Structure 1
Amino acid sequence: MSSHGTDVPYLLDGPGTPPTTPADQELSRDMIAYWTRFAATGDPNGPGLPRWPAYRSGGGATLSLASGPGGIRPVDLATEHDCAFWNGN
């Protein structure tokens, strides 16, 4: 199954499995706050939310949106997904 679209139940009421655990419900609230703030201001960052770093080409921190241990946090995407291995480096 493709993971594209798995964020939809966290953002919209409708089909799909809604967030049921307290950690998933907190993630849903934070994701809605990020998306709403971004739509209103062009910047997803706001009070009470972990800082979403600006995208930088060539790597660097990106935001992991996860519930449970670790939660929402900046990660180095290339390291997190072992991109050096896949690039043959």
Structure 2
Amino acid sequence: MSPRRNNRRDEPGKPDPAPTRFDEIEGEFRVRHLSGETSTKMYRCPGCDQEIRPGVPHVVAWPLEGWGDESDRRHWHTSCWRARGRRGPSSARW
């Protein structure tokens, strides 16, 4: 199964805004921890291949190389993100 793509109506290839105070650099990734309060969509976690329901706190991560490409953004359960070194992604390209 290929990873779910969250297509947006934004311009293709439009770079992400500059990093905010909420972004962190963890290894080779730019990471944003979300409280879930603004989350209205369901996502599929690449760490466990399970759903992240709206309102659930989670992590969004992008590879630093090419971080402006929204197609490389992945939503992870916080615990799956922390365990990624032991488990690895099950469905993500990276």
Query: Given the two structures, how large is their TM-score scaled by the length of structure 2?
Result: 0.30
Larger Rg over CA atoms: 1
Q: Which has the higher helix share?
A: 1
RCO (CA 8 Å, sep 6+): is it higher in 1 or 2?
2
